[in-house]
């Protein structure tokens, strides 16, 4: 009597990690794309830290570990945003510290 | 009333004039840079700044002088001379591409090409010469190009840098180089100036920081760290990487403009390349 219910429960339980990974993959792809865009906007102010973190995130994703990849991509996004902010700030601030200005 | 107006105009002009004039021209930048470093290091003769850290630290200077009997760049100079004099497949040599056959011209590089509207460095001129004569270009940072550049620099030993900024396009390139020098980059948030204007003579880990004035006069260099010769743009790449900034392309527009700005500040100082550095 309980057998079909047991099978259904077991099936759901086994599919949870896969569902979770699918969600992480989508989240990773979204964040990864955002990092690439922000990193590019930094132009000549790009950080090696961002590039390295992004590469490591991609490797984790390629190996199927999307949760780790997402975590790394989110860190890369923070670096990329900081480099972009550095670009904006420095383009305004540099004349104040230059000899001759 | 009229007198008050005149006074107001005079005061206004007095207040705005320094802002308008300061750093208006590369020559004013150069003079202020010289003044800054002479005030910072009053015991260092002006022409000594081209020797970088060896002008600032007695111990380092003694080590450097002891190497001068058998400088490690001598082999590169000899190799460079041989390559410089060896004809291309079409029978021409590098001499055909340069003023005065390429001898004693280092002090005029980089220059601004007013037709192409770009900065031409010595290494760029070397590779363009090769391409114009049907040869493959050399890699930018080390190896044969550093040797040829070293030989050409050696023929200018002691000649004074004479870099010109001939028009507004050249001025824009100079200003772009200046902006690069003073803007902080990388995760460590350092500019070139953080080390070489604000902290020359101080140590950063095991490195003694050289002054901005006189920088680049000694290139190409043989660095103990590299164990070989390298070009200025190789050094730029390393500096950017040290502060965790993604290095730009060697001989790309940004680094050429940077070289143009830095070399202009050396006007009146002697060519001392090739040289050796730790």
Does the residue B196 lie in any domain?
A: yes
Among B154, B182, B202, identify where a domain stops: B154
pLDDT tens string B64-103 = 998 888 999 999 999 999 999 999 999 999 999 999 999 9
Domain CATH for B99: 1.10.760.10
Residue B103, domain extent: 74-154
Q: Both B101 and B206 in a single domain?
A: no
Contacts of A100 in chain B (CB under 8 A): 22-23, 28-29, 32-33
Q: Is B239 among the catalytic positions?
A: yes
B136 and B217 belong to one structural domain: no
Whether residues B185 and A79 touch (CB distance < 8 A) is answered with no
pLDDT of residue A101: 84
A15 pLDDT more than 90? no
Q: Is B250 in the same domain as B185?
A: yes
Q: Are B151 and B77 in contact (CB under 8 A)?
A: yes
Contact B246 A51 (CB under 8 A): yes
- Of B99, B128, B154, the position where a domain reaches its end is B154
User: Measured between beta carbons, which residues in chain A are less than 8 angstroms from residue B32?
Assistant: 99-100
Is A1's pLDDT higher than 90? no
Summarised one tens digit per residue, pLDDT across range A20-57 is 566 889 999 999 999 999 999 999 999 999 999 999 99
Check CB contact under 8 Å for B185 and A51.
Answer: no
- Is A48 in contact with B185 (Cβ distance < 8 A)? no
Task: Output the DSSP codes for chain B.
Answer: -HHHHHHHHHHHHHHHHHHHHTT-SHHHHHHHHHHHHHHH-TTS-GGGGGGGGGGT-HHHHHHHHHHTTS-TTHHHHHHHHHHHHS--TTS--GGGGSGGGGTT-GGG-SEEETTTTEEE-HHHHHHHHHHHTT-PPPPSSSTHHHHHHHHHHHTTTTPBP-----SHHHHHHHHHHHHHHHS-BTTTTB-HHHHHTTSTTSEETTEEPPPSTTTTTT-SEEETTTTEEE-HHHHHHHHHHHTTBPPPPTTSHHHHHHHHHHHHTTTTSBP--SEEE-
ipTM of the prediction = 0.85
Are residues B187 and B126 part of one domain?
no
In this prediction, residue B18 carries a pLDDT of 37
Indicate whether B40 belongs to any domain.
Answer: yes
Residues B64 and B196 in one domain: yes
The larger pLDDT score, comparing residue B34 to residue A7, is at B34
Query: To the nearest whole angstrom, how far is the Cα of B177 from the nearest Cα of chain A?
Result: 12
Angle at B70 between CA B67 and CA B75, to 5 degrees: 125
Q: Is residue B4 part of a domain?
A: no
- pLDDT value at position A100? 87
Per residue in B207-219, pLDDT (tens digit) is 999 999 999 999 9
Looking at B124, B154, B184, the residue that finishes a domain is B154
The answer to whether residues B259 and B185 belong to one domain is yes
All residue ranges of chain B with pLDDT < 50 are 1, 6, 8-22
């Amino acid at each position: 009597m309980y057998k079909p219910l047991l099978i259904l429960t077991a099936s759901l339980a086994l599919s949870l990690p896969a569902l979770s990974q699918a969600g992480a993959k989508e989240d990773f792809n979204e964040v990864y794309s955002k990092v690439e865009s922000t990193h590019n906007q930094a132009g000549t102010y790009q950080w090696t830290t961002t590039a390295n973190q992004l590469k490591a995130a991609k490797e984790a994703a390629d190996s199927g570990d999307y949760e780790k990849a997402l975590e790394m991509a989110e860190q890369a996004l923070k670096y990329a945003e900081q480099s972009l902010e550095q670009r904006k700030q420095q383009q305004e601030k540099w004349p104040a510290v230059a000899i001759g200005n | 009333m009229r007198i008050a107006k005149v006074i107001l105009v005079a005061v206004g002009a007095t207040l705005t004039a320094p802002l308008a004039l300061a750093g208006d021209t590369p020559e004013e930048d150069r003079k202020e840079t010289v003044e800054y470093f002479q005030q910072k290091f009053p015991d260092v003769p002006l022409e000594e700044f081209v020797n970088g850290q060896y002008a600032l630290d007695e111990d380092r200077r003694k080590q450097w002088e002891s190497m001068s009997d058998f400088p490690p760049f001598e082999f590169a100079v000899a190799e460079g001379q041989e390559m410089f004099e060896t004809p291309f497949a079409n029978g021409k040599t590098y001499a055909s591409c340069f003023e005065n056959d390429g001898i004693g011209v280092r002090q005029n590089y980089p220059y601004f090409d007013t037709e192409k509207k770009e900065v031409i460095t010595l290494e760029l001129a070397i590779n363009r010469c090769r391409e114009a004569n049907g040869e493959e270009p050399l890699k930018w940072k080390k190896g044969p190009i550093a040797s040829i550049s070293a030989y050409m620099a050696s023929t200018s030993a002691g000649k004074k840098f004479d870099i010109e900024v001939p028009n507004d396009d050249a001025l824009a390139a100079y200003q772009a180089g200046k902006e690069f020098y003073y803007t902080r980059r990388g995760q460590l948030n350092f500019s070139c100036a953080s080390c070489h204007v604000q902290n020359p003579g101080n140590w950063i880990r095991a490195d003694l920081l050289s002054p901005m004035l006189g920088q680049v006069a000694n290139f190409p260099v043989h660095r103990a760290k590299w164990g070989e010769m390298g070009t200025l743009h190789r050094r730029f790449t390393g500096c950017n990487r040290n502060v965790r900034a993604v290095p730009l392309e060697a001989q790309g527009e940004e680094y050429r403009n940077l070289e143009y700005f830095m070399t202009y500040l050396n006007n009146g100082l002697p060519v001392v390349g090739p040289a050796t550095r730790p």
